[in-house]
Each structure stands twice: as structure tokens, then as C-alpha cells.
Amino acid sequence: MKKALKILGFAILTILILLIVAPFVFESQLKDLVKKTMNQNLNAQVDFEDIDLSMFRSFPKATLVIKDISIINNEPFKGDTLALGEEVTLEMSVNELFKSSEKAKKIDKLSLNNAYINIKVDSLGNTNYDIAIEDTTTSASSGKPFSLDLKHYEINNSRVKYDDKSSKVFLDIENLNHEGNGDFSMDQSELDTYSEALVSLDYDEVNYLNQNPVSLNAVLQIDLSTSTYTFLENEAKVNQLPLTFDGYVKVNEDNTEMDLTFKTPSSDFKNFLAVIPEIYAKNIENVETNGDFVVNGRIFGKADELYIPKIDIKITSSNASFKYPDLPKSVEDINLDIEVMNDVGIAEETYIDINNATFRIDQDKFLAKGKIRNITENMLIDLALKGTVNLANITRAYPLDLEQDLNGILTADIKTSFDMNSIENERYQNVNSSGTATITDFRYSSPEIPNEVKISNAEMNFNQGDVRIPDLKMTTGKTDINATGSLQNLIGFLLTDEQLKGNFQVKSNTFSVNDFMVAETEEITTKDENGNDRTVAKNTGKEAVKIPSFLDMELNFDANTVLYDNLELKNAKGVLVIRDETASLKNVTTNIFNGSIGANGLVSTKNPTPIFEMNLDLNSLDIASSFQGLELMQSLAPLATAIEGKLQSTVNLKGNLNEDFTPQLASIAGNALAELLTAEINPQKAALLSKLNSQLNFIDFSKIDLNKLKTRLTFNDGMVEVAPFDFDIKGIKFQVSGSHGFDMNMNYDLKLDVPAKYLGSEVGATLGKLSGENIENTMVELPIGIRGNFSSPQINLNMQQAVNSLTQKVVEQQRRNLEDKAVDAINDILQGKRDPNKPFVKNDTTVAGNKKGDSTATRIPPMRDSISQQKQVQDAARNILGGILKNSKKKTDTTKQN
């Protein structure tokens, strides 16, 4: 017995060792075999990261796991991803691993987890999923094709996209969970399935479903010999609407046949609420309802490249009502009669008839009727709307989550008919609309705007494609607006992504830009009480003006007062064009700072950083108040704060804007030509002028006359360049040039043409050397360098250069005096009035030829070296005399004979 137990134990141990070792022995070979087999049988690039073979994961079955599999298409979809899968799991008997490819593989379970399947059909009908390589071999040795016997399969947390360019169908199935049980080894079998997903469906670029929750619990009878799939027991839900259906789908070689009928399992009006997405309909279990809601439909016929199945769907309701238990109002007298039909099987012949759609809340009744034709091509729409609705009652009767409460009274009596091609191509003459609509006592508030918007009255008259608005009265904050005008494409704006186009005459007593400052927000993700992520918008504390991207408007405005930042503009008139997130100003005029401004330019918020370009004409502005109120002007000419008077200027500039539409000074580029019409200076208001006033005590800056002074400025990269300009102060000429930055650092040069006598002891000794010249009229150039900044200036009086300049004048003056004396002495000699052997200059500094004490005698300033001076005079005289004699001809003596 012991021996038998030992043998049994040894056998079990051997089996366990084989089960453990087998995956390592066969795994590498299996990996190469699977990859080779897939690539040989599929016209695509198949790859996976690893294969894991386990004998214990689902013992006694073997488990094969293929990780991170990918299938990439070859031509004609080269490079496109057909499928990705995080994990493919197959459970099977161990015997199935050792079967040859000629024998059918029996798979007990196949799981596809976290997969992405991307199916495409191009405009020529080519499909990217047709990747199986046809077996063209005919010899017996080729064997049977690979076959698979599958019992259970499931797809978990996956996504399927179907994009068919030929039929204009786009289907996106997200969060897909699907499973099926059946026997695929038989020609006829039953497949028990359950599916749930979020479904989005577009047909011909029209969206019909948008992430709508759909579930399907269905038993299908499968006949593989005829490719017929019959629905036996089926129940589906679209949103919360239950539907039961039966019928069949048969796939033929050239087409697909089908005959499917569906209906609501009951006629309870809750079925209508169930059609609405749950996020909007909320919990409908406790809603009180009366009346009925029935959906009956049939889809039947053949589908191929030319035809679609015929459609007959009817939606009806009669004298229904509903009331949510937590809301005070109910919706009553609900009547619906809607048909979706296609009688001929051609897609464009599908149509919708809204024979009747009415409802009532309190005493307010609303009616809609219409027809929609040719829905797959150029859709034709014919609608009529009539009734009155107190908008506040909508949220009192139906649980809508809105950012702000609805309010106001809407009254409408409108008829309109149009085709979508005309709307999309802006051929509004093809739109036939008539009727009126009015909204009164409408209020709108939001965390994004600082003040509630109130519309006391807005009238709309529909005429062809235009909507005339004869009266619109609106207020918000300090702003009041009274407008008349028209909208050119209201229907296009409402039905497509077109911009709203219009023209308006706008009048306002007060228009405050601050009332339209939008509070910036950022998205913050937090956890709610159940631990789920919740995204909320949080105010950042910043405010910005954003020009709406959907507006294409021309506004001819006239405002008595415009408030912008801390400025108050009067009598603002002009044209404002809003287009492409850009506001263009045309011929705008306004009164401010006791003068006027003309403006042409633009402001754009299209890019993350707003920009502007502006041409300004400043006419007779009060200097002090304008430079105090405008930061830009303070930066262009800081010294203007010390000037009282009037300014005239043209300014051309462009740059970036802050969120509140104030300029970013460092980004500004442009130029200006400015003229002071009248100007008085108070040096004490500017540190630079005050310091110059104290150092140049011979100038009283308070008495400077700058009237009619002109100067040109250029600015770029935060610097202001001032072109050289001249002016005169009480006989003293000034020349100014240089630059400063918007940071108030400066680099200026002043050149003063100053009477030498004002420079005091610095030039007194040199000035005393002038002789025979009116000292009062002697001028000297005094350079002044100005550095530092305007609040703490550094002034450098270059007195040495002034002394050097004056010295040059003295030397030149003395040279001319000496030459003059030398000429006088030579004349005396030539006339015999003086002995040529006597010196020209006496030691008593009396000029030769004049009597001592003679009041007319010319005095020569004493020199340190009188001998040197005398030599200079003699040299000068000699040179002059030499020049004279050199150019003289000797006279001929006519008394002598040859």
C-alpha cells in the first residue's frame, strides 16, 4: 500500500512539474507560431508584446493570454489602426494546444479587454477590415482552412468606431460591454447576448444620437447556411425608453434584407420622458403622468449601394400631462402626432411630419407644426410656431439644470420655410419667413458678468431671410442701450455654426465698458460626497473683455457718456464693426479733457494676447488732465505733468493689451507728432525741471514760453525716441534730443547757447581777455547731460567744454585784434607817420600812434608775456606787409634814358 501511495504521489508530482514547466517549454514556440500564423493569414501588420500560457489560471483548462495586440492596415489604408487590445484571453482544454491547424479549435471562452476597433469604409467602398488572405491553393496537401468552435465570448470596456464615407454614416460606440453564449460549431444555433454602451450616430453630417445610453438584451437565432439572424426575445433601451422588437436580418451576397418591428411595451406617458437623456430628465419613477405616449415602427426591405430599408415610425400622444413631485407647475394638454416615413427606399425620400405638437403651462399655450423633407440631401424645412410662454415656468415644471434662471414672456407667431443649402451658402433670399416675436421683462445674470442684463422689450419682425428689430431696450449696470436694426441670418445662426450677422443703430445715454468685463474662470476638479470627480469653474479674480467669435455686426453708435476704466468720454459717435473676434473703429469721435479725440483702428481678442492698432487725432486737449488720466501719455512725455495748456497731436501706435484692454506699454510701437498750442510750466511739479531750475540760476523755467512748440516721437520696445527740436528762452537757445524708457529711465542731451557772462567765475578769467568786443553779446555753448530717471535725475553741466569753447573765441579775437593793429601800424609807416624801427606795442599797453591818455586810444588786455605779444604783432604785421609788398610792382623811372 505504501508503495502504491509513493507511486501515486510521484505521478502527481510529475504532473505538477509538467504543468509548471510546460508553459516555459512551449511559450516561446507558441509565441512564434501565433505571430507567424496571424501574419500569414492576414493582410495586415500584426504584433503583440507577449504571450502568457498558464495551466493553473483556469485549471483544468489552459489559459492563453495575448498582451497588447495591434493590427495595422496595409494598403489602401496603410498605417491606419484597425484594432488595439490590451489583453486577449482564451480558455481551452490542454488538448486543444496540440491540435493541428486542420482540426477545429474548441475555445471555451474568449475575452477582449480594453480594446479599440476602428472600422473604415472609403468613398469607393473599400473596407479596412477585409484583411483575410484568400487561400488560392488547390492541392490536397494544402489541408482544411483554420476553423474555430467558440462557446462564450465577451468584450469589456471597449470602443468601436465605424466611419463609412460611402454611405455617410458615422457610428461611435463607447464604454462597450458585450457578451454572448452559443455554439458556433453548428449551422443553426441560438446566441444569447447582452450589450450596453454609449452610442453616437451621425448621418450625412447630421447628429441623431450623442452619447445616448443604449442597452440590448437579445436572443438571436442564427442560420449560418443562409446568413439569417432572427430576433426571438428582445428588449432594448434608448436612454430610458424601453422598446421591444422582433424580425430578422438576412445578409445576401449583394444586399441585406430585413423586416424589423418595434414598439413601446406600454402606452404610459413616462415613455416620452424616457426618450429624454437621463441627465436632463432626472428620476422619472415618481413623476405623475396622465395620457399616453406610443412609439410604433417598422423597418423593412433591402439595403444595398442604392437603396435603404423603408421606414414607417409613428409617435403619438393624446391629452397627456406630467408633474414632477418637487416642482410647483405641471405641463398639460400635451398632444403629439409625428411621423417618420420613407415609402420608396431611397434615403433622400425620408421625411418627418409634425402634424401636431402642443403643450400648456398654466394659461400659456404653445403650438408647433411642420414638415421636414429630403433630410439626407438638401433638407427642406417648413415650420409654424405660435403661442405665449412664460419662460420662468419652464424650470418650474421641468427639472433643467441651468446656469441661470429663465424668465421673461416670449410671444411668437412665426412661419418659416427654407432649404439648408440656402442657409449654409448664405442665400437668404430663398428663406421665406413671416410673423412676429416679442420678449419682454427678460433678465440674464451669470457669474461671468458683473451685472444683471435686463431687456425690457425686444421686438422681432420676420420678413424673408431678415429679422427686423424695430425696438430693443436693454440695461446692465450703468449702461443703457436703445437699438434698432436687423439680423440677416438668425435662422442660419440657430441651425448651423454661422456667425450672427446684423446692422444696428445704437443710442446710449451711458455706456460703461466695465459692465462687460468678463470674470475669468479656471476648471477645478474636486471630489463630491460619493467620491466622484466633480469639475467646477472657479473665478481667478481677473477680468477681461472678450469679443464674441459668433458676432459679425456693424454698429453705428451715439453715446452721450462712455465710461472706460477711469475715463469719461462725452458725445462718442462713430461706427463699430465686430467681426472675427476683432472690433474695428471707424471715424470715431469723442470729447474728453476739454478737447476732442478722433480714432480709427482695431482691437482683436482672437489670439490669447489681445492686440490693437490705433490712429488718434488729439485736438486741443487739456495737457495736465489728459496726462494725469492716461498712463500711455504719462509714459510718452513724463514732463507734461508740469505743463498747463493745450495739446494737439497725431498718434499712430500698435501693441498688445492686458485683459482689461489697457495697453502693455513695453509692447507698444509707433510714432507721434505733437504741438503745444498754449503752455505754462510749473517746475516744482517735475523733479527734472526743478533740479535744472536750481542749477541754471540764470534761467527761470516758470517763465518759459513753449507755445507752438512741435516735436516728433517714435516708440518701440519700451523706448521713446525724441527727435531733436529747438526753442528759445529769453535769448537763450535750447536744443533737446535723446530718449527715455517706459520705466522712466532717460538719456537726454541739452545744448544751450548761453551769454558767457551768465557762467560766472568758471569763465571770468577767460572772458576778461576779450578786447574790443561787446562782452554782453558773447555767447558760449553749454552742453548738459541728463541721466537717471525722471523722479531722481542726474544732471551734468559740462562747464569745461564751455570754457574751452570760450577760450577758442578769445584766441580768435586776439588774433584778429593783433592783425588789425599790425595793419594800422603799417599804414602809419607807409604814410610816414611812424618810425619803422620803433616797436608796434608799448609796455603801457597804449597802441602805437595814439597819445597817452587819449580817450580814443585802444587798450589791449595785459598779457603775461608782453614781449611775446609784441612779437606776435610784429610777426603779424610782417606777414601782412610782406604780402602787400610781394604783390606790389616797382614804378618805371621815365626821366632816365637808355
Within a 10 A sphere around the Cβ of 413, how many other Cβ atoms? 16
**Strand 500-512 versus strand 551-564 pairing type:** parallel
With a cut of 60, say whether residue 425 has pLDDT above it: yes
Q: What DSSP state is assigned to residue 76?
A: T
Per-residue pLDDT, 477:
87
With a cut of 60, say whether residue 464 has pLDDT above it: yes
Q: What DSSP state is assigned to residue 768?
A: T
Q: Looking at residues 70-97, what average pLDDT do you find? A: 82
Contact partners, residue 576, CB within 8 Å, separation at least 6? 553, 554, 555, 557, 583, 584, 585, 586, 588
Q: Looking at residues 371-379, what average pLDDT do you find? A: 84
Q: How confident is the model at residue 593 (pLDDT cuts 50, 70, 90)?
A: confident
Cell readout for 630 is 492716461
Q: How confident is the model at residue 133 (pLDDT cuts 50, 70, 90)?
A: confident
Q: What DSSP state is assigned to residue 549?
A: T
Place of cell 402642443: 358
The torsion angles phi and psi of 94, rounded to 5 degrees, stand at -60, -30
Q: DSSP string spanning 91-123?
A: EE-GGGGG--TTSPEEEEEEEEEEEEEEEEE-T
Q: Looking at residues 106-129, what average pLDDT do you find? A: 84
Instruction: Give the C-alpha separation, 592 to 577, whole Å.
Output: 23
Range of weakest confidence among 102-106, 294-298, 518-522, 874-878: 874-878
Which has more pLDDT, 786 or 840?
A: 786
Per-residue pLDDT, 174:
92
Mean pLDDT of the chain: 76
Instruction: Give the C-alpha separation, 617 to 541, whole Å.
Output: 35
Q: Looking at residues 532-547, what average pLDDT do you find? A: 57
Per residue in 169-180, pLDDT (tens digit) is 888 999 999 888
Q: Looking at residues 784-788, what average pLDDT do you find? A: 86
Q: What DSSP state is assigned to residue 34?
A: H
pTM: 0.56
With a cut of 70, say whether residue 159 has pLDDT above it: yes
Task: Using alpha carbons only, give the angle 91, 96, 99 rounded to the nearest 5 degrees.
Answer: 155
Place of cell 591818455: 853
Decide: helix, strand or coil at residue 499: coil
Place of cell 473599400: 126
| Distances, alpha carbon 315 to alpha carbons 312, 493, 513, in Å | 10, 29, 51
Per residue in 39-59, pLDDT (tens digit) is 677 788 888 887 777 665 665
Contact 669, 655 (CB under 8 A): yes
Q: Which of 277, 271, 286 is nearest to 316 (CA)?
A: 271
Q: Over 270-290, what HEC string results? A: HHHHHHCCHHHHCCCCCCEEE
Q: Rounded to a whole number, what is the distance in angstroms from the first to the last CA of the chain? A: 184
Q: How confident is the model at residue 107 (pLDDT cuts 50, 70, 90)?
A: confident
Q: Looking at residues 512-529, what average pLDDT do you find? A: 63
| Distances, alpha carbon 411 to alpha carbons 437, 706, 891, in Å | 6, 66, 126
Per-residue pLDDT, 413:
92
With a cut of 80, say whether residue 479 has pLDDT above it: yes
With a cut of 90, say whether residue 384 has pLDDT above it: yes
With a cut of 50, say whether residue 138 has pLDDT above it: no
Decide: helix, strand or coil at residue 592: strand
The residues pairing with 342 across neighbouring beta strands, listed in sequence order, are 311
Per-residue pLDDT, 303:
85
Q: DSSP string spanning 5-41?
A: HHHHHHHHHHHHHHHHHHHHHHHHHHHHHHHHHHHHH
Per residue in 798-824, pLDDT (tens digit) is 767 766 766 666 666 666 666 666 666
Q: What DSSP state is assigned to residue 657?
A: B
With a cut of 80, say whether residue 866 has pLDDT above it: no
Q: Looking at residues 200-218, what average pLDDT do you find? A: 79
